[in-house]
Amino acid sequence: MQLSKVLSLDCTKSAVPCSSKKRALELISEIAAAHLDQNPQPLFECMLNREKLGTTGIGNGIAIPHGRISNSDHAIAILIQCQDPIDFDAIDGQPIDLLFALLVPEEQCKEHLSTLASMAEKLGNKKVCKQLRNATTDQELYNILIDEE
């Protein structure tokens, strides 16, 4: 699936002041809830429950929180560039500053595994990560990811 089908400009946020893992997940939930016209609390809880199974901090300053949502028929992605790196219990023990979240309808999980995989691959590209970290606007962040498709 193309990233532009799940990530929109209004779900791409640059230089977000974020103090903790919990706050990052709350912000992601709030952005997604506004876009999906849902209550943010269940979205937050689904990502928090996923984190309890094991961190989604994949290392190199990157986290890919994700979860299953109900009451929606389409997936949504949120990209956040943190103003300052935060502790996220990443597998390499390093703080993270780039979060790519993916929330998918419960019945579409298999279809979106490839979206998660392609995002992990894209964020594994040091050039792309450097560009994302140097981006100064939401539009610039969005363009970096979408232009790579």
Report the alpha-carbon distance of residue 60 to residue 109 in Å, rounded.
Answer: 26
Q: What is the pLDDT of residues 57-116, one digit of tens each?
A: 999 999 999 998 888 888 899 999 999 999 999 999 999 999 999 999 888 767 678 788
- pLDDT at residue number 20: 96
pLDDT tier at 16, thresholds 50, 70, 90: very high
What are the residues whose beta carbons fall under 8 Å from the beta carbon of 144, sequence distance 6 or more?
A: 128, 131, 132, 135
Q: What is the pLDDT of residues 22-68, one digit of tens each?
A: 999 999 999 999 999 999 999 999 999 999 999 999 999 999 999 98
- pLDDT at residue number 116: 82
35, 66, 74, 112: which one is catalytic? Answer: 66
- pLDDT at residue number 3: 83
Entry pTM: 0.93
- pLDDT at residue number 148: 56
- pLDDT at residue number 80: 97
Q: Are strands 57-59 and 62-63 parallel, antiparallel or unpaired?
A: antiparallel
Closest to 118 measured CA to CA, from 70, 75, 82: 75
Residue 35 appears among annotated catalytic residues: no
Q: What is the mean pLDDT of residues 133-141?
A: 96
Report the alpha-carbon distance of residue 116 to residue 110 in Å, rounded.
Answer: 10
